[in-house]
Amino acid sequence: MRVLVRADASVQIGMGHRVRCQALVSAFEKQGWQCQFVVQRQCEAFANEADRIIDHESFFFAMAKQADLVILDHYAYQAQDITELYQHQPNLLVLDDMNDRGVFPAKWLLNPLQEVYSAQIQWPLIGSQYALLRDEFSHAVKNPFADKLLLTMGGTDPLGLTLPIVARLMAAGFGAHNLVVLMGANAKQAKQVAQLCEHHGIAFHQGLTEVSTVMRDAKLAISAAGSTLYELACLGVPAIFAQIADNQTHSLEQHLPLNWCRSIRFDHLSAAQLSTPLSQLVAMALDAWDSTDWLKQASKTAQHLVDGQGAERVVAEVMRHY
């Protein structure tokens, strides 16, 4: 059985779509399915050698006809585009976050948030039990003696928030031995961040194959609010989230009331407007760091939301209704 996965990654788009689709690909490959990513040429720098590179979506539509299953995780596709793709390949699984693209058909639709879709979706896969996490999270366990503040702004850190956050934490007197900085292989300003961390004696990691080994030692995280939200929840790590994209709005609206995380919004700000919210973010993290009761309860709440088995559940549902 052949699966085509339409997902892109770039500094602007981020790595989240690629990462969660890769989790799904791994689960399908365990069942013997053959999977291939299809990537637009302008995103080729973030592609793998085995990916199919296309110059126009019409090439993907032609390929979709020959596949057994198509997975679509791409915000550029609106209802009309998804409808056209469905006409080429009715065995279509759409990944969604915002539920803002109108009515469209699909055999399966996956959203880890509580959203309601039209009857044109044959098999909706809704809720955090379907959150797509990499294999490493299915068996990862939080360190009961976790004592680190983890700082991670996603795979690319498009707003360049890591560097000023580290600087503010050091200026506030936060212990360098308690801080761990994690950046993606293609993250913005990574060289400058690494130099600053070396200067202060801060643990710095970039482009790790497995991130759960670092996350499990975190007592608290300052993080971008993308797919990392579910990874932190799985390990029971309370978080202060920086919202860096509009597509993170619905997720935060549903998670903030559960009181395992807090957030500051950055996606609507210009570079000149970042200073005040950056200081607010750091102040919020420092306050949370000393809130022992909240940290304990928040960790328990988060761990009950996600168990790391989402990809396997999705594959099982697809195979059941194929």
E-strand spans in the chain?
2-6, 34-40, 52-54, 69-72, 92-95, 106-111, 121-126, 148-152, 179-183, 203-206, 218-224, 239-243, 261-265
6 is an annotated ligand-binding site residue = no
In whole angstroms, how far apart are CA 289 and each of 74, 98, 154, 239?
Answer: 36, 31, 21, 10
What is the rounded distance in angstroms from the CA atom of residue 166 to the CA atom of residue 177? Answer: 13
CB 37 within 8 A of CB 21: yes
CB 87 within 8 A of CB 106: no
- Collect all residues with Cβ–Cβ distance below 8 Å to 297 and sequence separation of at least 6: 259, 260
Buried b (16+ CB within 10 A) or exposed e, 5-17: bbbbbbbebbbbb
Token pair for 8: 């892109």
What is the rounded distance in angstroms from the CA atom of residue 36 to the CA atom of residue 238? Answer: 35
Is 17 catalytic? The answer is yes
Kind of pairing between the strands at 121-126 and 148-152: unpaired
Best CA proximity match to 7, nearest among 22, 19, 18: 18
168 is an annotated ligand-binding site residue = no
CB 92 within 8 A of CB 74: no
The helix/strand count (H/E) of the chain reads as: 11, 13
What is the rounded distance in angstroms from the CA atom of residue 23 to the CA atom of residue 29? Answer: 10
Residue tagged active-site, from 17, 74, 250, 255: 17
Binding residues for substrate: 134, 231
Catalytic (active-site) positions:
17
Binding residues: 134, 231
